[in-house]
Amino acid sequence: MNELQTEIAELKSFIADLKADRAATKEKEKREAWTKYVSLTIVIVAVIAAVAAQWSGKYGSQVMLSQTQASDQWAFYEAKSIKQHLDETTLMQLAQTADANNPQVTDQIKKLKETVARYDKEKAEIKVRAEALEKKRDNAGKHGGKMGLAVSIFTIAIATASICTVTKKKPLWFAAMIFAAIAVTEMCLA
């Protein structure tokens, strides 16, 4: 009978230990339940950071495209300038060497003057388009820079929150949320 009571006592002790372990595990889970929110926060911040990275890339592409188009317009402007200069040189030579009473020369001089005037008008239009493209490029660069900064700050927020889950230090989570709020603000101001 003694043996039975000993086994019952051991069984009761084992059950008490099991209950104590279970209670300790529940208490630990209760104390660390906030880490689930940290994990969820990391996912949300990562998604927003991905959106900011996409926008940053869009602005980067817009900068390159606008710069290329502006360069093309300036090259077109230079081509018109060269043609205009050639026509002006021809016009001066005709005016100095040709017979002013010859109707063919007069017609040619008139056409060259019209062409030179047309080049001035075309160059003015091209210049306006090139400057508009440069302005578009500059605006996209400004926005892209702000988005790039937001992505960097989001990365810091994610890293801080990740360290928080490992170290179980709640203040790091709050710091990560502050970084994320700063990044969102930067993103909205872009």
Specify the CATH number for the domain of residue 89.
1.10.287
The answer to whether 173 and 64 have CB atoms below 8 angstroms apart is no
Q: Would you say residue 103 lies in a domain? A: yes
Give the model's pLDDT for residue 157: 96
Angle at 111 between CA 109 and CA 116, to 5 degrees: 95
Asked if the structure places residue 73 within a domain, the reply is yes
Contact 45, 157 (CB under 8 A): yes
Is residue 15 one of the residues assigned to a domain?
Answer: no
Residue 13 resides in a domain: no
Which two three-digit tokens encode residue 170? 């709640």
Confirm whether 7 is domain-assigned. Answer: no
| 48 assigned to some structural domain | yes
Find, among 161, 84, 75, the residue nearest to 117 by Cα: 84
18 lies in some domain: no
User: Which pLDDT score, from 0 to 100, does residue 1 have?
Assistant: 66
Domain count for the chain: 1
For each of the chain's 190 residues, which pLDDT tens digit applies?
678 788 888 888 888 888 878 877 777 777 678 888 999 999 999 999 999 999 999 999 999 999 999 999 999 999 999 999 999 999 898 888 877 778 888 888 899 999 999 999 999 999 999 999 999 999 999 999 999 999 999 999 999 999 998 998 999 999 999 999 999 999 999 8
Contact 176, 161 (CB under 8 A): yes
Q: Is residue 4 part of a domain?
A: no
- The residue segments making up the domain with residue 121 are 32-189
